[in-house]
Amino acid sequence: MVTTHPGSPASAAASGPTDDEQVEMMRRMIDANVFSTRIFNLQRQGRVGTNAPIDGSEAIAVGAAAALDPKQDWIYPQYREQYGLGRFGDELLDLIVLYNMGHPGGGAYPEHLRVFPYQISLATQIPHAVGTAWGMKVKGDPGCSLVFFGDGSSSEGDFYEAANLAGVRKAPVIFVLINNGWAISTPTSSQTGAESFAAKAHAFGFPGRRIDGTDPIEVYRTIAEARARATGGMGPMLVEAVTYRLGHHTTADDPTKYRHADEVEAAKSREPVAKFAALLGARGLWSDEQTAAQEASAHERFDGAWERAQATTWQPSDMFEHTYATPTPRMLRQRAEMIAHLAAEGEA
Amino acid sequence: MTVMTMVEAINHTLHEEMARDDRVMVFGQDVGINGGVFRATEGLSAAFGDDRVVDMPLAEGVIAGSTVGLAVAGMVPVAEIQFLGFAYQAMHQIVGQIARLRTRSAGRFEAPITIRAPFGGGVRTPELHSESLESQFANCPGLKIALPATAADAKGLLAAAIRDPDPVLFLEPLRGYRMVKDDVPDGEHVVEFGKARTSREGSDVVIIAWSYMVELANRVADSLAAEGVSVRVLDLRTVVPLDVDAIADAVSACGRAVVVQEAPETCGFGSEVIATAMERCFYDLEAPIERVSGYDTPYPVGMLEDYWVPDAPRIEAAVRRVLGTSA
Ligand SMILES: Cc1ncc(C[n+]2csc(CCOP(=O)(O)OP(=O)(O)O)c2C)c(N)n1
Ligand SMILES: [Mg+2]
């Protein structure tokens, strides 16, 4: 079953989100946007490394996380979505800051946080998510796993191999393909000859849906339905969430080289955060004052995270900490040599 | 001669080779209108069109694997892997297929394939963007591996790679793209594979290096010259084929040697260089050969990388140890 129209109503099978949940999603979308902008700007000041802003994916990350159970489900992100996954643990913000600083603590996600660290090697997280779902099924654990990946990433063999396995094992996994129109400078027309990305699900033996990824309510309902299917033993679903990458691919990118300003201009009317604020506003659930207040609180929380990150200690020899459970004798020799060398150079 | 940065020299050579031979195709991720994420393929699609300069679907396996079929069809493929760490996604094609095409077909099929990729780190990239995999690939007979250290060599070795009847991995120092800048010969300039280059003359000790580590070795040589220490620097240029004679001549002449690699220590290409020197120069050695390398950990996060990648002070300390002049 493939629905090919963005904006088509999600199945009535999923109820919700409630008004409270919608307001909560609104808050988290604003947070995601502020955190992402702050990290982007810090790169411009040379204080963090290359990073990918969330611009355009807020409703997908936040809507999907809202439809999952942070105590039972797993999320395998690519690299844009972490900003929107605060519902799985607000300490994510501290980790995001450390990670983008290039701090050795940036991968130290605490035990209870069912979110995987940033994935840079595209599509490799998809087999991981299928493995987790498969293992949960074998063990009889409740819950499911959800994996985010891009239109570009969907061209990798890892996607096809993992989706095929998931179909065979009826693994409780939700594939969320974020179609934001671009993979750096490569448009989706150079990525696939298929009528849609969602259509590919058919060949794997499970349903594919193409939805409006700028609408968090539609995302929520679709993921809720996919979760009910997955945890009910009916296997995977592929969700193609259509949006538009409004900003730079990363801080290292110059999109004016390869796409027209009018295309970006046209997509701005679908900017998820402002669009959702207007929708909730019209229903009396949200106001401009609340937007301003939420932005202020997000900035304040970011300031706190930035301060904590500055105070988080590290040392060069941290690099030897997590290669193995126990470092090899040769690594211990290297570590000692490094420490001695730095002492001799007066750096230690 | 024209002064160019490394990336300008690469871009200029791709233009020249595409103009020289219309079978040459350039393809990879974002190599078309974007001109590559480092601008190495800038202007190629405008000059040669979208049939010869192709933005591929995001899949290294098919970027590498399709070169085999394109070569059989009579094309000369020059594929780009956006960062060397993503060659892992193409390993079964590069190692299992491309390297073996000639062997498997008993010489019938050639693989005049060039695979270009940025090599090494030092510029605060995200994970898997800073890999040094020359020794993994050197252990795969059938592949040649070029690692230019200068812009002039980038031109000469890339032209040689594209014209070579066998597959070549052309590894471009990420840190050198804009930092390395020198005189590049105009017009036809081809550097023969397997011929090392003496980058600094010297007689007390030789530093053997390749890619960006040559730049650091030069700095150490220049700074020690002020103390009256005569440091030779040998740039291997290609690790396959390896210029065994140049290594032997330099080590025997100096009697002392340091090998520098950016990769982790264990099973790095430095081990091969040292074993070669031991075979050929054992009785000329005045001291054990030292190696300077990355450590036996995955390439670390940004804040730690300067401590991991060999730098001039670590190289200099090793030179002093082999000279017996350490403090
Ligand atoms: C295996 C692999 N190949 C190439 C890259 C380089 N790269 C980083 S992001 C990107 C484009 C990704 O596009 P998409 O999957 O659509 O995600 P988006 O950035 O649009 O969110 C590329 C080619 C990579 N990180 N990993
Ligand atoms: Mg995309």
Give A38-84 pLDDT, tens digit per residue: 999 999 999 999 999 999 999 999 999 999 999 999 999 999 999 99
Q: How far is the CA of A152 from the centre of ligand 1 (A)?
A: 6
pLDDT for residue B327: 63
Q: Are residues B180 and B201 in the same domain?
A: no
Distance CA B109, CA A268 (A): 52
Per-residue pLDDT averaged across A188-209, rounded? 98
Q: Is B29 in the pocket of ligand 1 (CB under 6 A)?
A: yes
Give, in order, the Cα–Cα distances in Å from B51 to each of A207, B32, B41, B55, B57: 36, 10, 14, 10, 14
Q: Which two tokens stand for residue A219?
A: 């995302």
pLDDT band at A6 (very low <50, low <70, confident <90, very high): very low
Q: Is the pLDDT of residue A127 over 90?
A: yes
Of the residues B163, B184, B205, which one is the last residue of a structural domain? B184
Structure confidence at residue A120 as a pLDDT band (50, 70, 90):
very high
A125 lines ligand 1 (CB under 6 A): no
Nearest to A157 among B32, B55, B61 (CB): B61
Chain A and chain B share a number of CB contacts under 8 A equal to 117
For a mutational test of ligand 1's pocket, the pick from A149, A154, A184, A244, i.e. the residue with the most ligand atoms closer than 8 A to its C-beta, is A184
The reply to whether A59 and A189 lie within a common domain is: yes
How does residue A1 score in pLDDT terms, banded at 50, 70 and 90?
very low
Distance, in Å, from the CA atom of B71 to the CA atom of A53, rounded to the nearest integer, reads 40
> What ranges make up the beta strands (E) of B236-289?
238-240, 257-264
From A80, A122, A248, mutation site for ligand 1 pocket: most ligand atoms within 8 A of C-beta: A122
Same domain? A265 vs A329: no
A31 burial via Cβ count (<10 Å: 0-12, 13-18, 19+): buried
The beta-carbon contacts of B311-314 under 8 Å, at least 24 apart in sequence, are B311/B216, B312/B216, B312/B219, B312/B220, B312/B223, B313/A341, B313/A345, B314/A341
What whole-number percentage of chain B has pLDDT above 90? Answer: 99
Q: Is the CB of A37 under 6 A from ligand 1?
A: no
For residue B161, the enclosing domain spans 2-184
Residues A250 and A339 in one domain: no
**DSSP bridge partners of B234:** B198, B208
CA nearest to A159 within chain B: B59
The strand order across the sheet containing A237-242 reads A2-3, A208-212, A237-242, A173-179, A145-150, A74-76
Residue A3 falls within a domain, yes or no?
no
Report the distance separating Cα B199 and Cα B210, nearest Å.
Answer: 11
Helix and strand element counts for chain B (H, E)? 13, 14
A104–B304 CB contact, under 8 Å: yes
| Structural domain that includes position A324 | 316-348
- If asked whether residues A271 and A326 sit together in one domain, one would say no
Q: Are strands B144-146 and B238-240 parallel, antiparallel or unpaired?
A: antiparallel
**pLDDT band for position A5 (50/70/90)?**
very low
Report yes or no: A185 at the B interface, CB cutoff 8 Å. yes
Max CA pair span of chain B: 62
Q: How far is the CA of B217 from the centre of ligand 1 (A)?
A: 35
Chain B within 8 Å of A310 (Cβ-Cβ)?
Answer: no
pLDDT in tens, B275-284: 999 999 999 9
Asked, for residue B192, whether it belongs to a domain, the answer is no
Mean pLDDT value across residues A301-315? 98
* Residue given tokens 């220590």 in the structure block: B265
Answer yes or no: is B301 within a domain.
Answer: yes
Ligand closest to CA A184 = 1
Best residue for ligand 1 mutational test, from A153, A190, A245 (most atoms within 8 Å of Cβ) = A153
B203/B177 same-domain check? no
**A52/A130 same-domain check:** yes
Alpha-carbon distance B99 to A313, whole Å?
46
Which of A190, A318, A319 lies closest to B57 in CB terms?
A190
Residue environment code for B56-84, b if the CB has 16+ CB neighbours within 10 A, otherwise e: bbbbbbbbbbbbbebbeeebbbbbbbbbb
Same-domain check for residues B179 and B201:
no
> Are B90 and B138 in a shared domain?
yes
The pLDDT score that the predictor gives to residue A15 is 76
Asked if A211 and A241 count as a contact pair (C-beta separation under 8 A), the reply is yes
Is B129 considered catalytic here?
yes
Starting from the edge strand earliest in sequence, which strands make up the sheet with B144-146, in order?
A: B53-55, B24-28, B76-80, B114-119, B168-173, B144-146, B238-240
pLDDT at A321 over 70: yes
| ipTM score above 0.90 | yes
Last residue of a domain, one of B159, B184, B209: B184
Q: State the virtual CA torsion across A61, A65, A66, A72 in degrees, nearest 10.
A: 170
Q: How far is A40 from chain B (nearest CA, A)?
A: 14
Considering only CB atoms, A316 lies closest to which of B266, B296, B304, namely B304
| B24-37: b (≥16 Cβ within 10 Å) or e | bbbbbbbbbbbbbb
Do A260 and A162 have their domain in common?
yes
For residue B92, the CA-to-ligand 1 centroid distance in Å is 20
Question: Whole-prediction pTM value?
Answer: 0.96
Amino acid sitting at position B281: C
Closest chain A residue to B292, measured at CA: A334
DSSP 8-state secondary structure symbol assigned to residue A115: B
In this structure, the answer to whether residues A253 and A346 fall within a common structural domain is: no
Q: Please give the distance, rounded to the nearest whole angstrom, from the Cα atom of residue A184 to the centre of ligand 1.
A: 7
Residues 207-236 of A with CB under 8 A from B: none
SS3 label, residue A21:
helix
pLDDT at position A346, please?
Answer: 86
Q: Give the gap in angstroms from C-alpha B14 to the nearest C-alpha of chain A.
A: 20
Based on the domain organization, do A280 and A222 belong to the same domain?
Answer: yes
* Helices A19-44 + A288-310 axis angle, to 10: 50
Residue B125 in contact with residue B194, Cβ under 8 Å?
no
Provide the pLDDT for residue A347: 62
pLDDT tens string B164-214: 999 999 999 999 999 999 999 999 999 999 999 999 999 999 999 999 999
Q: Is A151 in the pocket of ligand 1 (CB under 6 A)?
A: yes
Question: B3: helix, coil or strand?
Answer: strand
Angle between helix B312-323 and A329-344 (nearest 10): 100
Q: What pLDDT, on the 0 to 100 scale, is given for residue B53?
A: 98
CATH number for the domain harbouring residue B287: 3.40.50.920
User: Which atom of ligand 1 lies nearest, measured to the CA of B30?
Assistant: 23
Query: Which CATH number is B10's domain given?
Result: 3.40.50.970
Cα B325 from Cα B204, distance rounded (Å): 12
Indicate if ligand 1 lies below 6 Å from the C-beta of A182.
yes
The alpha-carbon gap from A6 to the nearest alpha carbon of chain B, in Å, equals 23
Nearest-CA distance A245 → chain B (Å) = 16
Q: Do B133 and B222 share a structural domain?
A: no
Instruction: Give the nearest partner residue to A184 out of B34, B86, B265, using CB atoms.
Output: B34
Q: Find the catalytic residue in A28, A114, A221, A249.
A: A249
Question: What CATH number is associated with residue A62?
Answer: 3.40.50.970
In a domain, A2, yes or no: no
Residue B189 within a domain: no
Find out whether A123 and A154 touch, Cβ atoms under 8 Å. Answer: yes
Subunit contact B300:A330, Cβ cutoff 8 A:
no
Instruction: Tell how far the Cα of A53 is from the centroid of ligand 2, in angstroms.
Output: 12
Interface with A, mutate which of B293, B295, B311 (most A CBs under 10 A): B295
Q: Which of A258, A260, A283, A308 is catalytic?
A: A258
Asked if residue B228 and residue B136 are part of one domain, the reply reads no
- How many domains does the structure of chain B reveal? 2
Does residue B316 share a domain with residue B295?
yes
Q: Could you tell me if residue A332 is inside a domain?
A: yes
What does residue B27 show for φ and ψ, rounded to 5 degrees? Answer: -150, 160
B interface residues, A as partner, C-beta within 8 Å: 29-30, 32-35, 37, 55-61, 85-86, 88-89, 124-129, 265-266, 295-298, 300-305, 307-308, 313-314, 317, 327
User: Domain total for chain A?
Assistant: 2
pLDDT score recorded for residue A254: 95
Q: How many residues in chain A?
A: 348
A120 contacts in chain B (CB < 8 Å): 126-129
A65 and A214 share one domain: yes
Q: Evaluate: CB of A153 within 6 angstroms of ligand 1.
A: yes
Do B60 and B83 have their domain in common? yes
pLDDT < 70 stretches in chain B: 327
Domain membership of residue A206 (yes or no) is yes
pLDDT confidence of residue B326: 81
Query: Within this chain, do residues B166 and B35 fall inside the same structural domain, yes or no?
Result: yes
B176 & B204 share domain: no
A258 catalytic, yes or no?
Answer: yes
Chain B interface includes A183 (CB < 8 A): yes
Q: Judge if A24 and A138 occupy the same domain.
A: yes
Nearest chain A alpha carbon to B307: A316
pLDDT for the residue B230: 98
Domain end point (choices B184, B208, B230): B184
Which of A120, A184, A328 minimises the CB distance to B29?
Answer: A184
State whether B221 and B277 are in the same domain.
Answer: yes
In a domain, B90, yes or no: yes
A343 and A229 in one domain?
Answer: no
Name the CA dihedral angle for A266, A268, A272, A274, rounded to a multiple of 10 degrees.
-130
Shared-domain flag, residues B28 and B96 = yes
Residues A163 and A246 in one domain: yes
